[in-house]
Structure 1
Amino acid sequence: MSSLQEILVVIFSVIEFIMGTLGNGFIVLINSTSWFKSRKISVIDFILTCSAISRMCVLWTTVAGVSFYKALFYSKSLQVFFDIIWTGSNYLCTACTTCISVFYLFKIANFSNPIFIWVKQRIHKVLLSIVLGTIIYFFLFLIFMKIITNYFIYDWTKLEQNKTFTFLDTLTGFLVYNVILIFFFAVSLTSFLLLIFSLWSHLRRMKLQGIHTKDTSTEAHIRAMKTIVSFLLFFIIYYITNTMLTFSHPVLDNVVVKTFSYILTFTYLSIHPFLLVLWNSKLKWAFQCVLRKLVCHS
């Protein structure tokens, strides 16, 4: 890779890293301050805070892993430590975002189905089950760490030293790692489709009643669908880039592919928090206040 390409990669990575830290840090700061003042926090604010913290962990761990590549190359224990932090943060980040999708579905959608109503009355337990299930899966992942480490995405030492590393080995490890992430994607996609159906039913009822203007329920449906679809799109981009990173090591060994993948990975962690701020009334109001103060001081 030429020096110009290296400079551009560094510039884009630094910008995205700063944006991700500021965006996620803003969510944590606002929700934590509100929690400290009122001594209570809503479910959605708590989920957003946990999601922002886990995103920052993924972001910082990824940057640290790339920055200390040589140290990781020669230290097996350091590799395992980074793998544990990165994997746990990644799982928690995706679990929290899935909880946001499920929460919006049961808070906004209207269905007369008894199963839907039964789950809606126990939404807190459902969200807790998603988080606990993620933690259990993560610990099962750690139990088999010695096996999975040989296939892990960022296990550079094994990939460089083991010349007989096969495509099938990489694919097997990748699938084991991503089972729960595929489940999260399916849950979020289902939530999005059910919201579309709920909105369609709501608009049809309004049309039958002769109402042709948007109401609060319609706006809530649209805002929730924007949040979920943004997650789904960034989710797809994020894990396509992770797939590129996985198979670029043993198969492609292409520096351009790796660097491009890192930039796209940072995009998910850096841009999506700002979309969450824009589509959350409390965070949007706080963000506007900060901008006004910055403009006044400047």
Structure 2
Amino acid sequence: MASPYIITPLVIQIIFLMTGSTGNIFILTVHFLDWMKTRKLSTVDLIVNCIVIINLFLQGTIAFNQICALLFLEIYIQVQVVNSLLVILTSLALSSLWCSTCLCFYYFVKIVSFKWAWFHKIKAKLPVMVPWLLVFSCTISWAFGLAAYWDINIDNPLLTANATRNASYVHLHYKSRCDCIFQIYMLVASIPFSIIFITAGAIIFSLCNHMQKIKKNNEGSKNSKLSSHLKATKTVTSLLIAYFIFYGMINILYSESKDGQALTFIFCVLMASAFPTENAIILINGNRKLLMMVKHILCIKQTSINAEVTVTTY
């Protein structure tokens, strides 16, 4: 019988999976129904849908990985299975980060104002650029992720097939043939996060400047435009914090791949598996249409949300 040491994280991950899947499927459903009415999909909805689909698979794969480690250990510790799961998890995690970069870049171009001519050209061509940016994001993520299948070996597994029945937890040590694959993954993850940090920081700075101008021109803090900018700032800040935690957990997992402790590994996996749930909640709360639909489903009385412009409406 498995100990609470492994059961508790598994239960937590199942809770994350259920809540995250509900939120992400809700976003896809609302966007699909909207597309059925208009036969059009906005650029921001395209980016959000791509992130949502990736996060659904990411969260499902993390839960599947933990279930296999608990219930099907004899199969799980095989090199082909471990490498395949590592490839899928790495590719999906990197895809989520890179596609999130597209979202922050989109907000950056739409919200931040520059007088440069080339910047206005980018803004005009953004609807054409975004699909290609998403394709590039997924391609580069899977290209680097697939390299792990041929490069990674299990270095002295802690469990053997004969010992799995009495085991409470399996913590495998990974060894890279080139001795650099995890450093490469950390670099590939650092590039999109750096872009996210810069663009999100610029967005927050720009929105704060707008709020200062609004306060000077309109006295009182109840101005609707000021409220909408404050909402947008909170949404972007929340996304930045969520990306920072997710990026940090990925880097710790990669750096702890050889000598990491089991508790550290479990904690980082749990924090990473919470990201799709957190991301869905932030996206719903930051989108007027999605938030109105949630309030309608929950029979919550609508307030001034109908006049509010949130960050995802830019």
Same fold? TM cut 0.5: yes
CA contact (8 A) 2:253 2:268 kept: yes
Of 197, 204, 208, the match for 1:196: 204
Q: How does 1:131-150 map to 2 (within 5 A)?
A: 131-138=134-141, 140-141=143-144, 144-150=147-153
Per-residue CA distance 1:3-26 (angstroms, 9 max, x = gap) = 444443233222112111111111
Runs of 4+ in 1 over 6 A off after TM superposition: 161-164
How far the C-alpha of 1:264 sits from its partner, in A, is 1.0
CA distance in 1, matches of 2:79, 2:255: 23
Of 199, 223, 235, the match for 1:227: 235
Give the 3 Å change call, closer, same or farther, for CA 119–186 of structure 1 in structure 2: same
- 1:98 maps to 101
CA contact (8 A) 1:242 1:261 kept: yes
Give the 3 Å change call, closer, same or farther, for CA 4–221 of structure 1 in structure 2: same
CA contact (8 A) 1:51 1:96 kept: yes
Higher helix share: 1
CA distance in 1, matches of 2:15, 2:142: 34
CA contact (8 A) 1:195 1:221 kept: no
Unaligned runs of 5+ in 2: 159-171, 301-314
Unaligned runs of 5+ in 1: 151-156, 294-298
Of 99, 108, 112, the match for 2:111: 108
Of 239, 245, 257, the match for 2:247: 239
Aligned length, in residue pairs: 280
Give the 3 Å change call, closer, same or farther, for CA 142–206 of structure 1 in structure 2: closer
| Matched position secondary structure for 1:160 | coil
| Matched position secondary structure for 2:41 | coil
> Given residue 96 of structure 2, which amino acid in structure 1 is its aligned partner?
C
- 1:130 maps to 133
- 1:58 maps to 58
Of 211, 218, 225, the match for 1:211: 218
CA distance in 2, matches of 1:163, 1:95: 27
- 2:157 maps to 160
TM-score by length of 2: 0.76
Of 273, 279, 282, the match for 1:272: 279
- 1:183 maps to 191
- 1:42 maps to 42
- 1:263 maps to 270
| Matched position secondary structure for 2:218 | coil
How far the C-alpha of 1:72 sits from its partner, in A, is 3.1
**More displaced 10-residue stretch of structure 1: 198-207 or 183-192:** 198-207
CA RMSD of aligned residues (A): 3.1
CA distance in 1, matches of 2:47, 2:174: 43
CA distance in 1, matches of 2:156, 2:134: 32
- 1:284 maps to 291
| Matched position secondary structure for 2:298 | helix
CA distance in 1, matches of 2:201, 2:174: 44
Give the 3 Å change call, closer, same or farther, for CA 279–64 of structure 1 in structure 2: same
